[in-house]
Structure 1
């Protein structure tokens, strides 16, 4: 299968999943609930979007500084502005095509900073592994502070919450995991048939992936400024958490929630951002179900989920587009 066609099919799959989750999010909202959403938004404190935008933008800048620390052991010290603009452009590209952002930001930085792009790829792998470990820590803190939370979240997603009923909603929830598992198996079989691969090739693929992950993990031992790296990582996730807490203050119905609930929103929302490009559909749907678990009305929970997603998306859209325009001008001026 041509690489371009494979990329298009992959994007269509993720986009289709996002559209499906958008439909799940709005399918039970009738005229009365739409009115409730309008009323909630009419009294929303939209001025709080300013500090949220600032925090999210600052988190991306700190992420750029952290990336520079990973690049330094390679023998290169990149410009802070170039690194920051490349990070924003990468996020923007990821909203269009999954993983394109990682390739694009390495290419841009290689062009303007004269760093070999193949060496930068290793730092991206390591950065993603570190983010995955941080997300696991967030999950752990959420479970410690709120035992039994994810069991209740699973029930909220797959079980009807209307009244006191505990019957499956339409019976579809119990089939989601088997269907997803089946699709993964079909995709693997299709890959083996199209590429004319056998099980040995599949095992070698998994082995190579494992070796790359291990190689990425071991490179952190060459990091000279480990304390600074850990501090920047902590700041990134603290800004994510605080921006979610400020989001609670935007609506009257959510302003009584605190940092434990914000921790849950952070962990659940991170999954939503991974599932589909830019978290379209998935982020709002998962946040909606998370807030329903805390007793928030379904229509308000849906509005809250979309508000958070829109805030994060606007930062990427505006910041990424401006960075795309500024990057060549900045380097021409610097030269």
Structure 2
């Protein structure tokens, strides 16, 4: 079984998961609530797609500027236009095949800016490492700003997990869970040592090493302040864009930035779980809004609209970038006549 076939199977699996979540979410809506779901979609303010478009386009531009900073220590300074085109084409490619965009945007810069593709891999790892940390901060902010809701929800889940059949708290279950966790960690450690020759272990070590090296490379940047500001700006715009999206449906228009933070945190999980976040993005947003007394059908309608807006933006800007990239670079190569 070759790698391409395995990649196709993985993609089909996660695409199937996304389609299943769409089906499952729709079946979570009671029959008597279908009218409300359709009404939320029919009465939504679709004009808000325009400010969301601007906000997300700015976040992608900041991402391109941040990527350029990561290339500077290697002695490369690509034109920001080419970097932006590469970022958007990468997002477009990810809609078709997850992670293809990471390879493609490196290939584009290697072709048009003469930056060796293999040297760009480290910058991609660094970006992903920073994004993971940023998402962790967003989750922390969500917990702080909505502790009364998310904290209670988490406590309830924790209580249900560790209560016995009579409904009372069971310390024994916690002890068993901790023992199992320690055994898993011990098994992983032994596995890494005893089976270090296996391809899976070698790959896992490379991934962990790559993440560490990516984070370490940030400390060597000359323009650390700009890198941090761009990172804050990217996620700040994500939060702002999500809040504008909440204004689109009447049932969620009264929600504030704290709700947008929580929606972004959980919605981002959906973007990771399925290709392009299909099904999962709207489902997770609906579930977190449900904790704020928003009916599931209303939250799912809003999450669907927000997902569709992001999808359309990537398709339009990505396709334009694909068309304009060769045109821009052709003009660049034309000699100036004196």
Q: Please list, as runs of the form range in 1=range in 2, the aligned pairs for 1:1-335 lying within 5 A after superposition.
A: 1-29=1-29, 32-147=32-147, 149=150, 152=153, 200-201=197-198, 202-335=200-333
TM-score (normalizing by structure 2)? 0.83
CA RMSD of aligned residues (A): 2.0
> Secondary structure of 2:28's match?
coil
Deviation at residue 199 of structure 1 after TM alignment: 6.3
Counterpart CA distance in 2 for 1:18 and 1:41 is 20
Give me the TM-score of the superposition, normalised by structure 1.
Answer: 0.84
The structural deviation recorded for 1:107 is: 0.3
Query: Counterparts of 1:60 and 1:141 in 2: how far apart (Å)?
Result: 22
Report the CA distance shift for 1:210/1:28 in structure 2 as closer, same or farther (over 3 A).
Answer: closer
Question: Aligned to 1:98, what secondary structure does the other structure show?
Answer: coil
What SS class does the counterpart of residue 78 from structure 1 fall into? coil
> 1:1-33: per-residue Cα shift (whole Å, max 9, x none)?
212111111111111111111111111335543
CA shift at 1:206, angstroms?
Answer: 2.5
Unaligned 5+ segments in structure 1 are: 160-184, 186-197
Unaligned 5+ segments in structure 2 are 161-183, 185-194, 334-338
How many residue pairs get aligned? The number is 297
Q: Distance in 1 between matches of 2:206 and 2:239?
A: 35
Distance 2:249 2:154 in 1: 22
Taking the aligned partners of 2:245 and 2:123, their CA distance within structure 1 comes to 32
Using the alignment, how far apart are the partners of 2:82 and 2:318 within structure 1?
A: 13
1:54-112 deviations in whole A, cap 9, x for unaligned?
A: 10111101100110000111100001110001000101111111110000000011100
Report the Cα distance in structure 2 between the residues aligned to 1:292 and 1:274, rounded to whole angstroms: 21
Give the whole-Å Cα distance in 1 for the aligned partners of 2:120 and 2:29.
46
Shift of 1:150: 5.8
